[in-house]
Chains A and B, each alone.
Chain A
Amino acid sequence: VFTERYNRSYSANTHEYFLRMINLQESMKRHQLLNAPSPDISCNMSARYGINQFSDLSPKEFREQYLTGEPAKVSQYPNQKAGGHRSEDMA
């Protein structure tokens, strides 16, 4: 169902197929933890976690492929002297 729904090309019983299946199972374990109710969360608007197009990726693959934004260090607003800036001194 997953391969059809997300248009995956790997075929059944291949090495990649089993690798992806393990990732999918690990994802489902994560979803249970992420969806577990927490007392300080407002329930009816809470985020929901589950199967999506990234569920057959390992967290490492996901991080390497999609989480490639570098953190930036900027100063607290409105303290512009300490490095929060409006242009010039960025270099």
Chain B
Amino acid sequence: LPAKFDWRDKNVVTEVQNQESCGGCWAFSVVGAVESVYAKGGHPLEQLSVQQVIDCSYQNQGCKGGSTIRALNWLMKTQEKLVHESEYPFKAATGVCHLFPLTHFGVSVKDFAAFDFSGLEEVMMQKLVEWGPLVVTVDAMSWQDYLGGVIQHHCSSHQANHAVLIIGYDTTGEVPYWIVRNSWGTSWGNQGYVYIKMGENICGIADAVAAVFV
């Protein structure tokens, strides 16, 4: 494994999004993973519709909240094709599910994997490189005040309340860390990213890890 790995270097990570006042982190993280894995497969990097997942994943609560695993299960079971963001734009509120003709372009999820990697963050590194960006749930209570740097404290495991996307890691410095894309805009954290210390399940980052296959 390389000491440092970042899927942005392969040009397969879309820009940091802003969920605004919509509690749709679960949809942003899942759609971010689909975008990346689709691009990793040799397709153009395209922004796909988060609003489609928010409106249509009926087992979740739209902008009031949801589960990444339920969203992935819904995507896989229904083979719903995620259309371009421009065709079904984000409006920061839950709306009525729009349907598209079967022939319409879209990316569907063939399968997904979900595991607890706590105590196994080195394996998780391998899976990040092998599978692509990973959807994770975290305790983000202290992130209200985060400005930058590597989070090493003030974060609990087993108390997940937020969903994000791991897109890389860096073990070359004094403190090895995960590179995590958030959905609170680029003015938050490190241009929208947060760094989390590796190896101690900080913020519960390894508690529920999912990868998608398209």
Contact = CB atoms under 8 A, between A and B. Distances in A.
B175 interface: yes
Contacts of A52: 144-147, 187-188
A17 interface: no
A62 interface: yes
A45 B161 contact: no
Given A53-B188, A66-B184, A85-B114, A46 B150 contact: yes
B57 to A, nearest CB: 12
B123 A69 contact: no
B145 A50 contact: yes
Contacts, number: 165
B153 A41 contact: yes
A70 to B, nearest CB: 4
Contacts of A30: 145
A21 interface: no
B16 to A, nearest CB: 14
Contacts of B118: 76
A13 interface: no
B20 to A, nearest CB: 10
B151 A66 contact: no
B23 A48 contact: no
Contacts of A84: 113-116
Contacts of A38: 153
Interface string B85-129: 000000000000000000000000001111111111001000000
A62 B19 CA distance: 13
A80 to B, nearest CB: 8
Given A47-B152, A53-B188, A77-B117, A71 B161 contact: yes
A72 B188 contact: no
Contacts of A91: 73, 77
Interface in A51-83: 52-55, 57, 59, 62-63, 65-78
B114 A34 contact: no
Interface of A: 27, 30-31, 34, 38, 41-42, 44-50, 52-55, 57, 59, 62-63, 65-78, 84-87, 90-91
Closest 7 CB pairs of A and B: A68-B23, A68-B65, A67-B161, A77-B115, A71-B160, A69-B163, A49-B145
Interface of B: 19, 21, 23-26, 29, 61, 63-70, 73, 76-77, 111-120, 123, 137, 140-142, 144-154, 158-163, 173-175, 177, 184-185, 187-188, 195, 207-210
